[in-house]
Amino acid sequence: MGPLQGVKVVELAGIGPGPFACMMLAELGAEVLRIDRPGGGLSFGPPELDLVNRGRRSVALDLKNPAAAGVVRRLVAQADVLVEGFRPGVAERLGLGPDDLQAINPKLVYGRMTGWGQDGPLAQAAGHDIDYIALSGALHLIGRAGGPPQVPANVLGDFAGGSLYLVIGVLAALHEAQRSGRGQIVDAAIVDGSAHLTTMMLGALAAGSWKQERGTNLLDTGAPFYDVYETSDGKHVAVGALEQPFYDELITKLGINAPDRNDPANWPELRKVLTETFLQRTQAEWTEEFDGSDACVAPVLSLAADHPHLVARGTFVEKDGVRQAAPAPRFSRTPTSLDRPPVRAGQHTREALAEWGITDIDDLLETGAAVQL
């Protein structure tokens, strides 16, 4: 199942963006073997609910043990991709760096997931999503006029600027390796990816149509017709009526007399009218009012909500008793699937190593190089 069927990936387990990228590769059809440390790593709940670890089996190896590192080298000899998220230099000290592994498998695509990248003054510094998007300028974009930047959870940095760029890089390198017969290193840094995501705004800034001051631009709540508004029940709706026909429909549906929006001097008055109007009805009532219209109004829903459109598309699914997002994107001939739930570290050590042709499993378990849960 999935367009990557037949691709084999070895994942040296980390947290956050690396696992999310490997989850995506698994959902696209790749066989991903996750190498966990004995006992596992950081989790935000029970391992069986750590959804970014879904889709693959887990082998527990103590990579500080030379025999365990040797197992990884044997696995890599059969793999198309390796993904690691260590600080720069750690994989090399374990004997698992790109030079070590590409000497064994010249076609190996070696994916590296970090916050700051493999080089530069901050390469060895600790950091998290909020730090990377701060330095890239992406965090500066988010917030209201006169207020501080607002933190967008870790979706923008870790998963958009990190995981997705790693997956794009791995897929591009796999494609190139089919022609050249040679693998290469994919250096995916969250600071780079999140900076790249600001490309449209950088062009607008150069053109003079975007200002550095947050909350003053067309798409950052500066414009009252692109903002969120509270409803009478304390919930919110999102308004994105940018184009004139959509805005005209918004005003008609609301039944209001609005000042000319093309003059920014009128924006404070327009915002006041919109605020007062949306407060007159509940979110459900406004949702019904705008259902099927082109006014570009949508309810701001909680996580994994049951909206008719989401239900019709199967955007969220129940799998193993857990509500979760279905794989994306979708394919017409090679559909993706959720075939494996999240697992505990080392749950598949014996069976997975055997399937990958490792024969000295008993010795590895007896010496502690490998652990079977």
Active centre residues (catalytic): 128, 158
Count Cα atoms within 13 angstroms, Cβ side, for 227. 22
Contact at 8 Å (CB) between 210 and 217?
A: yes
| Look-up of token digits 């994942």 | 11
| Look-up of token digits 């129940």 | 318
Strands (E), the chain: 8-12, 31-36, 57-61, 81-84, 109-114, 185-189, 226-230, 236-240, 297-299, 316-319, 322-325, 370-371
* Distance, CA of 79 to CA of 71 (rounded, Å): 13
User: What are the tokens at 86?
Assistant: 């260590």
Pairing of strands 8-12, 81-84: parallel
Cα–Cα separations (whole angstroms), residue 303 to 105, 169, 310, 325, 329: 43, 29, 12, 10, 19
Could you give the 3-state DSSP secondary structure of residue 336?
coil
User: Assign residue 60 a region: left if phi > 0, alpha if psi is -120 to 50, beta otherwise?
Assistant: beta
| Backbone angles phi and psi of 69, in degrees to 5 | -60, -35
Contact at 8 Å (CB) between 225 and 245?
A: no
